[in-house]
Each structure stands twice: as C-alpha cells, then as structure tokens.
Chain A
Amino acid sequence: MDGAAILDELRARFGSAVLETHDHRGDHTAVVGRRALRDVLTFCRDSGALAFDVLMDLTAVDYSKFPGREDGPRFEVVYHLYSIAHNHRVRVKVRVDEDDALVPTANSLWPIANWFEREVWDMFGIRFDGHPDLRRLLMYEEFVGHPLRKDYPITRRQPLIGPAH
C-alpha cells in the first residue's frame, strides 16, 4: 500500500482525530490527537491492510525554539511504523504541551516501546501513561533535568564524582 492510501485509510477510520497529514519528501505523516493515539496505533498494528508489526522508532522533538512554533504545543512524540509483510512505512505524531506532557503508552502493543519510552522520558521529560517501569534509560538516577530539551545547556554537568568544571 502506498503512503497516500495509508493516510486515506487513517482519515476514513478516525475522521477529525487525524489533525493533519503531509508527505514531505515521500515520508507520509499523520498527526493525531492524543485521545485517539492508542486507537490509531492499535488499528495500525491490527488492521490487515496496514499490518504495521514493527515499531521501528519512537522519539520526540522539542519545538520550543522552532521558528513559528514557539507558542504551540512544545513537544511532538514521533512514531515510525513499518510493516514487514507489506513493506510500507508511516509516521504518526502526537503533540503535547509542556505542563501536560503525558502520552498513553504503546507498551502493550509493541514491547520495544518500553525502552523507547523510557528514553523519551529520560531525554525530554515526557511521561507515558500506563508504562510499567518509567525509569531513566541512559542517564543516572541522580541526574536532574532532561538533556535533550532545548533549554538544557549542553555543558551543564552533574558529575557523580570529581569536579564539575
């Protein structure tokens, strides 16, 4: 199935819950509302025509310094889905505000989401509702803040031992 047909399928099924679609440089993308996210992902995985059996990647982007988007929702959580059977891809995005950075977990759909979501929590401070074990993945427990946020200075060090420079 080609990308445009996938987006059509999603729009037909979820209507206004699909907020926006585009296919910049051949990557087909659907921005969906947070309430519908879980249903959209479940549909993507289970529908025979889509059959997205691999959650290839899950990450986030902090748009707080992006020209023209400073006032919009701060974060975008990005899901890259791939289907081995049909050899097609789609990108699903969901936007969340900083003071309500909570996204439903995809852990029960794809177990790999467990670690990907832990990484997003670690790096961006976005929480995942229903995640069984939301610990930091890469940084240590004592670390304060979320380094990939645009307002975290790259050289703010928090050493466990030794000088902080």
Chain B
Amino acid sequence: MGVGSFFTSKLDEAIGWARKYSIFQYPFVTACCGMEYMATACSHYDVDRFGAGLPRFSPRQADVLFVVGTISHKMAPVLKRIYDQMTEPKWVVAFGVCTCTGGFYDNYATVQGIDTIIPVDVYIPGCPPRPESVLDGLMKLQDKIATQVQRY
C-alpha cells in the first residue's frame, strides 16, 4: 500500500463516518407507512439518535430519499423527478413492502417495486414496518454509507 492510497482510505473512512451521522432525509410520504414514519420520527423511537432527525423538504438539500408508501403509476413520474433533482451522493430507502415489491397490490394501478424506476439501497419490508425495523434499516444504511467508496 502506497502512501497515497493510505491517505485516501483514511480520508474515506473519515468522510464515511461523518456522512453516516449526518443524514438529511427527504420523506416522500404517500400512504399508510407515513403513520409509522411519524411514529419513528417522534419521541418514542426518536430517529434523531442516528443523526437522521432533520427532514429536508427540498430534494436538493437531502441525502437520503425515504420512499414511504405505495407508489402508483400516476405518482411514478413524480418520484423519478424528485430522485433526479437530488444531488450526489444520494441514497434511497424503500420503506414498506409496497415500495419493495408492490406488496399485495398486484393490480393495474400500483408500481411493482420502486426499483423498477430508481435504484434502491436499503429495503425495509413490512406492511407497514414497525419502527424497530425502520431503525434497523437505517443502521444498515449507515453501515453502507460508512464502508462504501466515497465520492467527493
């Protein structure tokens, strides 16, 4: 390992550590899962413990897109546009089984998983997921952020 790559990997670690504790999320809340999102964000479960307590409602200021709830075909172009408006680096969390696979809405109106439209980093299944599994998903995302190759 040369001196240069040593510094890069250390710098990567430092940036990863900083990034994983300063998640500014964009809650793209559409449906039932929003209720559990509220519960996770509030006092009982307190998502702030993970440095993700401050939602940003402009996609340009957000790092993580939380897609919370069923995405219908009518809504899909809107989701795509929001994702495109976010600046790199960006991550996507599919919150709830409707966003993962379409769930039990196998019908003409519902998108069968948002990964057919945008890339997804962490899937949190459940209909809706309990706050505990949301926090678990968030920690998985933090691990992913910390260990990936950082772009800056």
Direct contact of A and B (CB under 8 A): yes
Q: Which residue numbers of A lie inside 8 Å of B, CB to CB?
A: 139-140, 147, 152-163, 165
Tell me whether A161 and B112 are in contact (CB under 8 A): no
Tell me whether A160 and B73 are in contact (CB under 8 A): yes
Chain B residue numbers with a CB within 8 Å of A156 are 108
Closest residue to A136 on the B side, CB-wise? B74
Tell me whether B108 and A161 are in contact (CB under 8 A): no
- Residue among B76, B106, B109 with max Cβ neighbours from chain A (10 Å): B109
Tell me whether B112 and A165 are in contact (CB under 8 A): yes
B80, chain A: closest CB distance, angstroms: 6
A162 to B118, CA, bound (A): 9
Contact with A along B72-101 (1 / 0, CB 8 A): 011011001000000000000000000000
Tell me whether A162 and B76 are in contact (CB under 8 A): yes
Closest residue to B102 on the A side, CB-wise? A165
Q: Does B42 have its Cβ within 8 Å of any Cβ on chain A?
A: no
Q: Does B117 have its Cβ within 8 Å of any Cβ on chain A?
A: yes
Tell me whether B74 and A154 are in contact (CB under 8 A): no
A154 to B111, CA, bound (A): 13
23 inter-chain pairs at a CB distance below 8 angstroms, sorted by A residue, are A139-B74, A140-B74, A147-B108, A147-B109, A152-B108, A154-B108, A155-B106, A155-B107, A156-B108, A157-B108, A158-B73, A158-B108, A159-B111, A160-B73, A161-B76, A161-B77, A161-B80, A161-B117, A162-B76, A162-B116, A162-B117, A165-B112, A165-B116
Given contacts A161-B80, A161-B117, contact A140 B107 (CB under 8 A): no
Chain B residue numbers with a CB within 8 Å of A152 are 108
Chain A residue numbers with a CB within 8 Å of B109 are 139, 147
Chain A residue numbers with a CB within 8 Å of B111 are 159, 162
Chain B residue numbers with a CB within 8 Å of A162 are 76, 111, 116-117
Chain B residue numbers with a CB within 8 Å of A154 are 106-108
Closest residue to A140 on the B side, CB-wise? B74
A139 to B73, CA, bound (A): 9
New A-B contacts (4) at CB < 8 Å, excluding given A165-B112, A165-B116: A139-B74, A155-B108, A159-B73, A160-B77
